[in-house]
Structure 1
Amino acid sequence: MVQEPTQDHFIGTMVDGRYLVRSRLAKGGMSTVYLATDQRLERDVALKVLHPHLANDPIFLQRLSREAKAAASLSHPHIVGVLDQGEDGHIAYLVMEFVKGHTLRDVLTEQGALAPRLALALIDPVIEGLAAAHNSGLIHRDIKPENVLIADDGRIKVGDFGLARAVSANTSTGALIGTVAYLAPELVLGQPADARSDIYSAGIMLYEMLTGKQPYDGDSPIQVAYQHVNAVVGRPSDIVPGLAEDLDELVQWCTATDAENRPVDGTALLAELRHIRTTLTDQQLDHRQGPGPNPYPAASATTAVGGGAGSPTEALPTTASPTEFISHQSNPTTIMAAGGSALQHSRAASGGDVEQDLRQPGKRELKRLERQQTKDRARAAATPVRPLREGNSRRRGVIWTIVIIILAMLAAAAGWFFGMGPGSPGTVPDVKNKTVAEAQQLLRTAGFQSEPRDVFDDDILAGLAVGTEPESGAEVRKFQPITLFVSKGAQLFPLPDLTGGTLDEAKTALNAAEMALGNVTEAFDEKVPAGVVIAQDPAKGTEVRHGTPVALEVSKGPQPIPVPDVRGKAQDAAVKALQDAGLKAVIAPERVKDKTVAKGLILAQTPANGTLRRGEAVTLTVSDGPKMVKVPNFIGKQADVAEKELKKLGLTVKRTDWLGAFFNTVREQTPKDQEVPEGTEVFLTVV
């Protein structure tokens, strides 16, 4: 894959004080996508920065905020999560789940047509994700291979929920947004989109997966859009002979020009898709035509947002299938409208459904086909085969008069219906923060009928109205149903148990639960090793919103204890002093004689200082007192000899000289001829 150049003034900047932009991954018609790091939650995210023409429109930003909230409420393994949305000055952005991998477009570019087994396996999670979205009242509007993300670990997700809907609501009255190769006919004709529009796009995508090419092509987007309205998608087996008939029926069921003839939503399609996968034989599932030319040249590289420089996540192709705007006010739209009328005329003239004449219906369409045939027979029976009372001009004149009167009455009724009756336009009132009863009354007063639908909302109290669909201020026909969104309050999630693991493990668990790391404090603990989380606030199991900060207390291990100096103390006193400090005293087995420390006192300790943990040992050495020495009698002997011998015995000598010690002879000695402790002082008188 080819990566977009990374020279960009955004790189290295901090968006909204939280998202550090690391590199640019892709650029499309609506936004530029960056790889960024969420500094608060310490995780990588895909940051989609919208182009200025969208970011500077306050009405669009309000719409985008609502759509982002709705998309964020989708929690499904096959839908890329919308994590945040906001504005930073003139920057409007979306924050999405960061998926490392590639796109379905990359697979089709590399392999071309896929075996049915692989094609069905790849589209199954896409339809499952759409089913979850449709069940929540959301539609995508831009299903295409570039928006199908395949993670490196095999997970498949649908991206860009909410953005296409928000952008399409922001365009002019006569414009629509979408990738023309996958655009449903009703969107080309300016009609409202619903779940069946997503089904059509998914059917076109399945056709491309099975055949390696798109069903329609042309020199301009308008030519392709024209074919969506006025042509019928062919059978995949016409391109890849030998494909199972069930696959032809499935593709043509999804791509019926009339939305009434398609599956009603993703749930209905998913059931049929899985039924077909279980009924096809291995030979049918593994059938594949020999390798053919690649429908997408290598130059149309796709860059995905996801794995850093090498493997991004959200597909934004450079040339393959760009999202395009098509104006209904342009000449090509008029051509389509005319073409649509021609198609209706062709159907009426033939007395049946042109599309059905070109298909071989399966069992799932028998009932619908029977109903259509009944209508055709009733219409044929009501059409006279010859004029009434040929030749009676007066009777024909009366009949034409009656017909004209009836047509006038119908025109008057239609005028009333669309001018003052249920078909007249009305403005949807603002019901935000109103009670359900108040909101419904406001809508009834404006002429609308509403259906409440509960949704999670972080800002609106439970039981109050969040808004409507269509939104407040929109001008719609009064017979159109209004969906009233009622807040269930903020969606809460139970906190995981973060104690017992390291701080890094707790951070990982918080990221996985989409919670924030709060204050981290440390405390001594005698039983828990250092670095292990010993407490959290809020406690485990507490239900909180995503992004709630969780404070952690981390153990510093046992508290160190300063070693007291007990040298010179009596043995019992020394032992007690160590025990009072929380340490253990160990007495050395042998006592040591020392001339300076009395017997029974502590002579030495190991360690002598520093710190220990509670319960650790200090070894004490007890003095056995000084050694006893017998003092010889040196009276009458030379003083120098006496002094030398006494010192040799470990005694100290104090000498007093008389008459200048002329003879250097010891005249008196104290003590003498007795045992004294080593170090005792011996007094010598020398003459």
Structure 2
Amino acid sequence: MHEPVNDPLLETLVDNRYVVRSRIARGGMSTVYLATDTRLDRDVALKVLYPHLAADRGFLDRFEREAKSAARLSHPHVVGVLDQGIEDSLAYLVMEYVPGHTLRDVLNERGRLTPRLALAMLDAVVDGLAAAHEAGLVHRDVKPENVLLASSGAIKIADFGLARAVTTSTNTGTLVGTVAYLAPELVTGAGADERSDIYSAGIMLYEMLTGVQPFTGEVPIQVAFAHVHSTVPAPSAACPGLAQDLDELVQWCTAQDPEDRPVDGRALLGELRHIRTSLTDAQLDFHSPGVPPAQPGHAAQPGNSQAESPGQPNSLTARTSVVRPVAPSGATEVIGRTEPHATEVIQRAENATTVLPGLPPQADEQDYDDEMDDGGYPAVSGRAGRRQARRDFKAQQKQSSRDAQRPEVSLRPGSPRRRGVLVGLLIFLLVAAAAFAGWFFGAGPGALVSIPEVSNTPAAAASARLGDEGLRYTTNEVYDEVVAAGLAIGTDPNAPEQVRRFQTVTLLVSKGPELFSVPNVIQRTLESAEEELSAAGLAAGSVTEDFNESVPAGRVIAQVPAADAELRRGTPVDLTVSKGPAPVEVPSVVGQAEDRAVKALEDAGLTASIAPSRVNSTDVPKGAVVTQSPAGGLLERGAAVTLTISDGPRMIQVPSYIGKQADTARRELEELGFKVQVNEILGGFFGTVRAQDPSSGTAPEGSVITLTVV
């Protein structure tokens, strides 16, 4: 049974319908109670908003709209919204009561899950998200604490609508959510859509597979910063041996750019089920032998959970909180329960044919005894009898209250003398009150005083001047770009405005200019560096470009001032951006032997690419470079130069022209590619070839054929 707590709402009747029986959990937005719907005689979960939220009329309007939207969503994997209402200053939401455990309980007990069980859990969650996305709802706070494992084996996701209503009611610059599962666009204020839920589901799958969260930090702002500037690692990095498909699934869901994620729950569900069927039994039941199961830092008390359930009290990133650079507050507090261990639930699930069948029955079924219950009512056997006893007891309380307000003695008209005394006393009191008021507002604490001008005076002197005027004041130190540290900036309200002496004036004392630490943007892209400098309160200064052999083009290779320097707001930081490696002059290697040409190109920082076919050349010897492309100019370091290698001159069949005319022989030999030399005997009177060298066989193109002519 639930542990009794000192809560004024316990054992009360809300909206003449819901009897509050016990408190289940308490979170950053509301308290969840186990209640009985007297009209339908069933258990429900009653989520009661905190008074500061219930007092905000704008928030209540949004809350009502979101509750109506969530109530229209009916799905076996979504906790149903049954009712909502406002009674006096009490704003509540009635939801389906799901006895059992949360996924957080399971992770606290097991550390990590097998891929088979993790995918089965995620399948139900994504199925519920898909139905919500198709109905136009975005959850915005998907986390293990909001995944309920019912005793019947059902898996349900809770808290649709509430996260959006709270987020839209907060100030700009704050963000309600669980930082361990926040999508980057929620941190940067870009707005949430279905893909934000997909990111949170991917983080949750990473935790189920590895037993740890991908990003942790001492304060929530560190975790939020990691979501924006870091990539979620592959689960196999923390748990070697996991299937590559699981790595790809996690990294697809947690892509930095929402455009790179599944568009909605339905798209993810299809891929998830494909992976479940494609993995082998060994991959689905994988246990890494070299990685011990993760041990939770602080085991939660397992037990009945509803919506804002316990989580890890010592885990900063497992809480729903406002993301600011301070320690979080309002972490979920869980009332102790005596439910069966989550380990028992999972052991039963793994031995069954369905995902989570046979969860142990709810331990808080009403086992009433014959003693007084924790609400002070006489114990009555049976639920109906106990409910009637509560009604009778509350009726007696109301009657006692009415009797206490009824006067026991009636006042009757007195004597004239008594009336005169009373009138005189009344007049005296009125005169005294008038005199006191005149003193109070004339010379006393209520008198008007002009605030003196204290700007640019030392803090001690400014304090003395305010004290001399009889003013109450508090000191507040603030940064100022103009007034030196230790000097007064002014007051709030400003001088010479008049205030009453009892009103408190704030003395503003300068702490000097606010200094901002320069972030390290080396190796960042220029766009990323400018964004990081802007986020740090600084600005990007002049940008120069320079060649660099090791840093890719477009990334920062130097910054002035250096990282960790302290600068005033808006001070520019000059950046030097890499243009990549310097270009290389292409040397000419035409005519060189192949090996020498290749070495010359490599020495210049280039690579040689040999053309597959050689060409004949009468000028370049065989094995030497005939042509290169490009022949010169500048290339990036490592670029390729194509070399064409000579196969030497081609061999041509030499015809015999002995006995033929010399002119014909010369012409035809030159057309074949030979050079012709003519030796004339007796002046070559007849013009006939007497001899030829060589006269037959083959000869290289361009070689000399000698003709002897008579």
TM bin (shorter chain): 0.3 to 0.5
Normalised by the size of structure 1, how large is the TM-score?
0.48
Normalised by the size of structure 2, how large is the TM-score?
0.46
